[in-house]
Amino acid sequence: MAYVMVDVEADGRNPGDFSMVCFGAVIVEPSLERTFYGRLKPVSEKWVPEALAVSGFSREQTLQFDDPKTVMEQFAAWLAREVRGRPQFISDNNGFDWQFINWYFWHFTDANPFGHSSVNLGSLYKGLVKDTSQNFKHLRKTRHTHHPVDDAKGNAEALLAMRDMGLKIKL
């Protein structure tokens, strides 16, 4: 099993009604060199300009992105190639990121390589420091840019720092 840190940018609040614009993933290991990046054409006519603006793309640009089915098939193939066993999904905001990745996998490929569960990075940190008011974001090294690969790398760096702080995690 390997932890795969994922970050999603979307043009609205939920999949199906709105679209995943792009996502990034990184295998959590010291080098942080194994990454995946996908940009997806919208699946809906609905979109929220403020949500889309976070990604840095215009609606016109997203309409030129790749077919979602193709991107999700490529992501599944990348996971199969890079991870022995079942990959473990982890993200900064798994309530948001997981819903998009899960929906897109099931909708476009009829399977989810991650299974049916995910891990929340912030919750791990709160448990590690035994304080629910604490935040892990100071542990990132890579600047949070809203490019999903940068953001996934920064979150993976935080997880590696938590391991150095005593979190028992097999990488």
d(CA 84, CA 143): 30
**pLDDT tens digits, 17-29:** 999 999 999 999 9
For residue 86, what pLDDT is reported? 92
Q: Where are the domains of the chain?
A: 3-9+25-36+68-164
| Contact between residue 134 and residue 145 where contact means Cβ atoms under 8 Å apart | no
CB contact burial 103-118 (16+ within 10 A = b; e otherwise): bbbeebeeebbbeeeb
pTM: 0.97
Q: Please give the positions annotated as active site.
A: 146
Q: Which residues of the chain have pLDDT under 50?
A: none
d(CA 26, CA 149): 7
d(CA 33, CA 153): 9
